[in-house]
Structure 1
Amino acid sequence: MVTRVTSSTSSERIVWIDCEMTGLSLEHDALIEVAVLITDYELNQLDEGIDIIIRPPEAALAQMNDFVRDMHTTSGLLDVLAEGTSLQEAEDAALAHIKEYVPEAGKAPIGGNTIATDRAFLARDMVALESHLHYRMIDVSSIKELSRRWYPRAYFASPDKKGGHRALADITESIAELRYYREAVFRPQPGLESAELKQIASKYQVG
């Protein structure tokens, strides 16, 4: 069910995005999957998310290295690329979905894991979508790296990830991961005991 919002609530949303690509080179690689999911600032999920398969240029597929090819074969993504949409159609669909929850441009930050990489591809290929987002980013990977150094017990007790390099599943796990760190880490040092951390992690284990 779509929730209608006004511009006054746009800044209270987080636009979670994950992209799958043929590699990490902005010069040679292509977007092949984009997923979007919206939460509020309390990390309550506001939609079921949208997942879009993009049909890439043959040249981008041909130059994929073995690691990436194996990864996308295992996930099943390569098998459905021929049925994918065009880049423009993908951007139009994703942006329309975002605007249902975030009608005002420049208000809601993008969230995800190592999200600067995804944003770089969006800035190259989906300019209207990327420019609709606030310039700030909520990178769960940064919180994870700080936790590894400052709260190692919390880091090592964090929920396992099983998204398998499919965009919407990866987003769902990113949100669950941030919920975990919010409860396990954002409290006075030295934090909780390992048994308590494991109990929290079990609540946010996806799948």
Structure 2
Amino acid sequence: MALTRSTDPLVWIDCEMTGLNPQTDTIMSISAIITTSDLTPLDTTGFDATIHHTPTQLSSMSEWCVRTHGTSGLSQACLESSTTAQIAASALLTYIKRYIPEPRLALLAGNSIHADKSFLMVPPWNAILEHLHYRLFDVSATKEMIRRWAPPKVLAAAPQKANKHTAREDILESLEEAWYYMHLIRSLSPAAATATGLNVAGAVPVPATATNPTLGLKQAQEESHIRRNRGTRQGDVGQLDEGFRTDVP
């Protein structure tokens, strides 16, 4: 299968589910926004659907889901909706093809998008994945690179999530974060990369810590713990920052 081009469009999708197991849990709501490769929306309205669920289906949700989806109003909306998963999946595929008729062109995009993809692999949603490229555009992956390789202030300046836990709002937050990383990357130059130790011709210089691999690994692990625990030292529990998905029960 051909690799993607830098100009290929992106299909931003976010799902709210009854849980995290795609074999037993189901999509409650799904939203989509289609953009160009530089994050310009092709349609400002986007796509939204709330899937009908019975009280029995919702009763199996975890305490986190019951609380979160109850507070947002999603649970009640699912009870009142007459839209089936089949209708929603078909409508979403039609919407995507309206703007991107060519198959295997657009990338599925979002934060921790592999989690949403695992649910889209289940019928009737799988037809949507079959129309998209196999590669993913994962904002969370970019964030993890920044977390490890950039000064802490770079990640600290990224847009913070409001954690509203609605499909459309989650997409808008992902787009805002992606905008930040896009402009950050575009502000770089080969000269700047070389100045920080990267040989753009292809050769990567050996870090000073390579002379003592154990020390280098220890320092890297310590730095990782400091960043993940919001400045606390290794061994402290700390808190997950706002950048992590919190729709995990």
Question: TM-score when scaled to structure 1?
Answer: 0.82
CA distance in 1, matches of 2:178, 2:156: 14
Choose from 101, 104, 107 the match for 1:106.
104
One-letter code aligned to 1:136: R
Stretch deviating more after TM superposition (131-140 or 120-129): 120-129
Deviations 1:174-197 (A, max 9, x none): 11101101112452457xxxxxxx
Q: Which residue of 2 aligns with 1:148?
A: 147
Asked which structure has the greater RCO (Cα within 8 Å, sep 6+), the reply is 1
- State whether residues 18 and 112 of structure 1, in contact with CA within 8 Å, keep that contact through their aligned partners in structure 2: yes
Shift of 1:140: 0.3
1: CA distance, partners of 2:148 / 2:174: 19
Distance 1:70 1:19 in 2: 17
SS at match of 2:53: coil
Matches within 5 A, 1:74-85: 74-84=71-81, 85=83
User: Residues of 2 paired with 1:75 and 1:147: CA distance?
Assistant: 31
Aligned-residue CA RMSD (Å):
1.8
- 2-side partners of 1:57 and 1:149: how far apart? 44
Query: Following TM superposition, by how much is the alpha carbon of 1:163 offset from its aligned partner in structure 2, in angstroms?
Result: 5.0
* Greater mean alpha carbon deviation, residues 116-125 or residues 58-67: 58-67
2:31 to 31, 35, 38: 35
Q: Does 2:8 match 1:16? A: no
Secondary structure of the corresponding residue to residue 42 of structure 2: coil
Q: Give the helix-richer structure, 1 or 2.
A: 1
Matched residues in 2 for 1:35 and 1:155: separation?
Answer: 27
Code of the aligned partner of 1:76: G
- Taking the TM superposition and a 5 Å limit, the aligned residue runs for 1:115-154 are 115-125=113-123, 126-151=125-150, 152-154=152-154
- 1:32-88: CA deviations, max 9, x gaps? 011110000011111121110011354431111111111111212112112321000
User: Secondary structure at the residue paired with 2:176?
Assistant: helix
Tell whether the 8 Å contact from 2:10 to 2:107 is kept in structure 1 after alignment: yes
User: Matched residue of 1:19: which SS?
Assistant: strand
1: distance between equivalents of 2:41 and 2:79? 31
In structure 2, the gaps of 5 or more residues are 197-249
Cα displacement string for residues 63-117 of structure 1 (whole angstroms, at most 9, x for unaligned residues): 1111111111121211211232100000011111101111011111100000011
CA–CA distance in 2 between the matches of 1:82 and 1:63? Answer: 14
1:173 paired residue number: 173
Q: Are 2:28 and 2:51, in contact at CA under 8 Å, matched by a contact in 1?
A: yes
Contact 2:16–2:167 (Cα < 8 Å) also in 1 = yes
1:179–1:77 CA distance, 2 compared to 1 (3 A): same
